[in-house]
Amino acid sequence: MKRTTTKLADGRELTYYDLDESAARDSVDRRALDPVDSRPELRLDLTTGDWVTIASHRQGRVHHPPTDACPLCPSADGHHSEIPAADYEVVVFENRFPSLTGRSGRCEVVCFTPEHAASFADLTEGRARLVLDAWTDRTARLSSLPGVEQVYCFENRGVEVGVTLAHPHGQLYAFPFVPPRTAKMIAVAGTHRSVTGGNLFEDLLAEARSAASRVVLAGRHWTAFVPYAARWPYEVHVYPHRRVPDLTHLTEAERAEFPGLYLDLLRRFDRLFRPEGGSEQTAPTPYISAWHQAPRNGGEELALHLELFTVRRSADKLKHLAGVESGMDSFVNDIAPEDAAHRLREVAA
């Protein structure tokens, strides 16, 4: 993998990741951009102890632009985008409308492909591996920044989950605090250790692998399974068989196997809601894909894993967060985890 770092016209950092070690990345951002003016504020919710980010400047960000004005496509004659090059493989750059910045963390955008109409599931295994290597490199670099407590790599796909740019991309958040979900998992893992003497995530993986009804895919180094208490209609967790804290600790064998398994899983998600007897579905499956990594401090019990879920529960129905879920964070799932796993096994290519 070759990494080439440059600056955009307003001073933001941009990094190209290439499989070809000879790739030349010398394109210059010729846009006339004002400096980024973002001053997000972190406020503590005294009723829960959770940090809330106030980022009012994000109201002005680009919202569903036409294809010929996409800011994530390569630059071309008459169109200068966030990526100065006329082509790219994988690129990461600082978000122009960040929720976190400066002493309050950092936000980056990860573009998986120059193809506007593609998706992560359309990537080759080699390109998916390059994305994994980019996630790993950014995790290492962002974790080293002063004040950063946790690095979160994720992808949102589909307008149903709030995506404002159609081009296939993900994001990276470098949090200056431990987010609520991570803090909760660490606390539960600590209790599990004190009661059982074992690691919560190792035990969850072992239990899932022994209960074949919830396993979707399994390789030599990774297993994808529906959790026992899944919150979302179709929710799959992907664990490496060897407990590690974050992406930087994966072995070469683990890195080599992940792309194929993950692409298989994403393609199954896209086959979930095809009309009966048909070969195509009306729209791609919306999803959120989230890497959970141990924070810098106090996360010894947390194990690296990926959580993938969709808000769609049938071809024409979405899982909306109702009052009990939005108001009380108490989930109700309309689909049994065992049924979801069966359906995901059923839609293998």
Query: Residues for the chain: how many in total?
Result: 349
Provide the 10 A C-beta neighbour count for residue 21.
7
pLDDT of amino acid 282: 59
pLDDT of amino acid 96: 92
pLDDT at 51 > cutoff 70:
yes
pLDDT at 167 > cutoff 70:
yes
Q: Is 116 a catalytic residue?
A: no
pLDDT of amino acid 280: 59
Least reliable range by pLDDT among 20-24, 36-40, 156-160, 291-295: 36-40
Please give the mean pLDDT across all residues of the chain: 94
Question: Long-range pairs for 345-349 at CB < 8 Å and ≥24 separation?
Answer: 345/216, 347/268, 347/271, 347/272, 347/274, 348/264, 348/268, 349/264, 349/267, 349/271
pLDDT range class, residue 95, cuts 50, 70, 90: very high
pLDDT of amino acid 7: 97
Which tokens in the block code for residue 190?
């600590």
Residue among 121, 93, 124 nearest 268 (CA) = 121
Which tokens in the block code for residue 153?
């790599």
pLDDT range class, residue 34, cuts 50, 70, 90: confident
**Choice among 57, 64, 116, 169 that is catalytic:** 169
pLDDT at 18 > cutoff 90:
yes
pLDDT of amino acid 344: 97
Least reliable range by pLDDT among 112-116, 129-133, 283-287: 283-287
Which tokens in the block code for residue 45?
């919710």
Tell me which DSSP letter residue 111 carries: E
Q: What is the pLDDT of residues 56-92, one digit of tens each?
A: 877 767 778 998 899 999 999 888 999 999 999 999 9
- Domains along the chain with CATH numbers: 2-177 (3.30.428.10), 181-346 (3.30.428.10)
Percent of the chain at pLDDT > 90 equals: 87
pLDDT of amino acid 281: 52
pLDDT at 302 > cutoff 60:
yes
Average pLDDT over residues 251-276: 94
- CB contact at 8 A, 137 and 17: yes
pLDDT of amino acid 349: 82
The terminus-to-terminus CA distance of the chain in angstroms comes to: 30
Q: What is the pLDDT of residues 170-204, one digit of tens each?
A: 999 999 999 999 999 999 999 999 999 999 999 99
Q: What is the pLDDT of residues 118-164, one digit of tens each?
A: 999 999 999 999 999 999 999 999 999 999 999 999 999 999 999 99
User: What gap in Å lies between CA 81 and CA 10, rounded to an integer?
Assistant: 13
* DSSP H/E element including 144: none
39 or 306: which carries more pLDDT confidence?
Answer: 306
pLDDT at 16 > cutoff 70:
yes
Which tokens in the block code for residue 220?
């030599």
pLDDT at 37 > cutoff 90:
no
pLDDT of amino acid 104: 87
pLDDT range class, residue 102, cuts 50, 70, 90: confident
pTM of the predicted protein model: 0.95
Which tokens in the block code for residue 87?
């082509």
